[in-house]
A and B are shown apart, each in its own frame.
Chain A
Amino acid sequence: MKACRMPIGFAVVILVFTTVVKAESESDVRFCDPHHLFHVVIPSGWIFQAGESSSHLLVFYGPEHDQLIYIEYFPEIAFSDPMDFAANVLEHYSADYGLPKFELVRELEPIDLGGVKAALAEYDYLGRIERTECRVFVIIDQIGLTITLSEAKPHYAVSKAQFDLILADWGWEVSP
């Protein structure tokens, strides 16, 4: 029995090591947010845009196309459920004064983000060009966060796959 445990334990260690190495391979960067709420692995080629960021907004540009990820903080949020938070925002986005040519491409749905309840929606709108956004809404430590991938509509699927990897590695600095 003891002999059997050894290879299993070894396999687990290798698996864990592989996962970490894969997530942070080459020039991937582990990014801890300035408010000490979360950490995330930023893939190689993505660059933090200090000039466009502020204390309540973090902006990253991707290496290709029109890739953009931005994270916004809302310290005084009245909502406690991310689905309510998201529904309220989408109501404004879809209103006649909202985003031009707004169209929901994926209904709002609950997801798990690093062990915390979150809400995700995908939609198209017309900015300078036709864009698709995937927006995740989460409330942690009474602070609202939106994590958004924004990309030109034709390239969205490719970028979304990268965004999914980023979300999969999402970790919290505070206990949920």
Chain B
Amino acid sequence: MRLLVFLAVGVLLLASAAFASDQNLVTRFERAVGESVKEQLIATYGGKAQIPLHEHLKLEAIFNRLTSVVSGNEDYSLTILDSYEINAFSLPGGYIFLTKGLLKLAGSDEQRIAGALAHEIAHVANKHGMNALWRRLGLSVLLEVGKFVLEVTMTEAVHAATQALIDVLQSGYSREAELEADYHAQKYMMMAGFDPAGLIHVLSDLQRLPQSQEVGAVFRSHPDPGIRIQQLLETLSDYWLSPQPIAGNVEAAEPKRGDPLNRFLIVDRSPGGETTARSYTLYDQQNQDFVGWLDGLTVNDLAFAPDGSLIAAGVWEKGIGDVWIWNRQGKVVERWKLGYTSPIDNLHFDPSSSMLVYQLRNMNGVEIWVGYLGEVTRLKLSCRLDAELVAWQESGLVLKDRAGSYYRIQAPRAEPIRLADPIPQVIERKQRLVPQVGQDANGLFRLTPPGNSGF
């Protein structure tokens, strides 16, 4: 027995010495373990998916952009799994997997796809798989690895680690590892020219899914997306540069008010007095009347999207300040239930109409926030500037405070993916589904859906 312990300690010492001296050996072992699990994973999830060529090229471009900013000597590869279960995996050695289900969830949004990929890349870069493996296996695998290092047998060492890694994948990484991967994923996204909010958006999609939706059990709940979103929101503000004093003229650069399509006029109907909260409405020049959809609402501020398609308002209702967004037909498309106990003003859309900045006053003072349209993401940008004017320009968000000084807040810059070489589309003729006209038993003419023969 003493001899066995002595042997084990000897092998371990040799193994650790060899590992420490030869980083390539570690990489080779990780890759071998990952490789052995990879095929099983692909088989379990329906094999490799064939996705449209352009989608593939876009994915590859996103993936390459992300891996190019990650340090380390991993050789990353991406595989799309032919499964509609919403899931993503990573294996030691740089193997990253997304299911078709997850791609469908992310849609065509590059930022969401980048978020999901960056999270899995971060697991690999931070050795979460291997660390979990060591913890799970303890001494036995170290002995096997020791043998591998001594080049007794690689197969045995890899085999011992393979089953353990499958167990790790099934039970998921630790909560700490998941949160750490989120933290690093945002960093990679920022460095690679993606909006770090993309990861928040894909997690909130996940959170909104009905329980009936097929989602990997670990992926859905480990840890709870709400906790992850909270942490990501806290770190997201780090990627917005805090207000920097600049010289400039915000009014000249971008007029605050006005419908870019010149149909609606913003009319101030405030009772008067500088201290009173403002109240606005819209006059429709085409119908020569005030719009009905603002009736009964106290609107503290109004802003048009740069293309005029959306109109945002800070609405004061029953002592609560919220943001409402309408389309031009007067339909509420979003209502941000912010629940502030102060009016909201200084609304301004960003040039791409994907974000809206707003200002409020509360017990802490004046706060400037930004919200993403169609998303849950709301972010506090400043709690010390009392902005008189706000304008979103190409260079960033420009603010003028009440003392007449100008500041700029720089948003994370998201560079869209552009494919280096043009790859022509391959399209097919669409099948025309023409409804049929026929008479029913009562002699009435009816339209039936295509393929439905009966009347």
Contacts and interface: CB of A to CB of B under 8 A. Distances in A.
Interface of A: 52, 57, 59, 61, 66-68, 70, 72, 74, 76-78, 85, 88-89, 92-93, 97-100, 125, 127-128, 131, 133, 135, 144, 146, 148, 150
A89 B428 contact: no
A133 B422 contact: no
Q: How large is the interface on B (under 10, 10 to 19, 20 to 34, 35 or more residues)?
A: 10 to 19
A148 B428 contact: no
A67 B429 contact: yes
Given A74-B422, A78-B421, A93-B53, 5 more contacts: A68-B427, A92-B57, A97-B56, A125-B426, A146-B424
A89 B424 contact: yes
The SS class assigned to the B binding surface is loop
23 contacts: A57-B425, A66-B429, A67-B429, A70-B427, A72-B424, A74-B424, A76-B422, A77-B422, A88-B421, A89-B422, A89-B423, A92-B53, A93-B426, A97-B53, A97-B56, A100-B50, A127-B428, A128-B431, A131-B428, A133-B426, A144-B422, A148-B424, A150-B426
Contact of A98 (B53, B420, B430): B53
A150 B422 contact: no
Contacts of B429: 61, 66-68, 150
Interface in B21-59: 50-51, 53, 56-57
B337 to A, nearest CB: 38
Interface of B: 50-51, 53, 56-57, 60, 420-431
B53 A99 contact: yes
Nearest to A79: B421
Nearest to A145: B424
Nearest to A123: B426
Nearest to B423: A92
A95 B178 CA distance: 35
Nearest to A66: B429
Contacts of B428: 66, 68, 127-128, 131, 150
A127 B56 CA distance: 16
Contact of B426 (A52, A97, A99): A99
A113 B344 CA distance: 63
B127 to A, nearest CB: 29
A84 to B, nearest CB: 10
B56 to A, nearest CB: 4
Nearest to A144: B422
A29 B53 CA distance: 34
Contacts of A89: 422-424
A66 B423 CA distance: 23
Contacts of B51: 97
A125 B52 CA distance: 13
A74 B420 CA distance: 12
Contacts of B431: 128
Given A78-B421, A88-B421, A127 B426 contact: yes
Nearest to A76: B422
A100 B425 CA distance: 14
B42 to A, nearest CB: 14
A57 B422 CA distance: 13
A99 B53 CA distance: 7
Nearest to B432: A61
Nearest to B56: A97
Contacts of A76: 422
B427 A135 contact: no
Contact of A59 (B50, B53, B427): B427
A150 B424 CA distance: 13
Contacts of B60: 97
Contacts of B430: 52
A98 B53 CA distance: 5
Nearest to A75: B422
A131 B428 CA distance: 9
Contact of B427 (A77, A85, A97, A150): A150
Contacts of A57: 425
Nearest to B50: A100
B424 A135 contact: yes
B204 to A, nearest CB: 30
A61 B430 CA distance: 10
B98 to A, nearest CB: 14
Contacts of A135: 424
Among A92, A97, A125, A127, chain B packs the most CB atoms within 10 A around the CB of A97
A52 B429 CA distance: 10
A133 B428 CA distance: 10
A135 B430 CA distance: 19
A98 B427 CA distance: 13
A121 B420 CA distance: 22
A57 to B, nearest CB: 7
Contacts of B420: 78
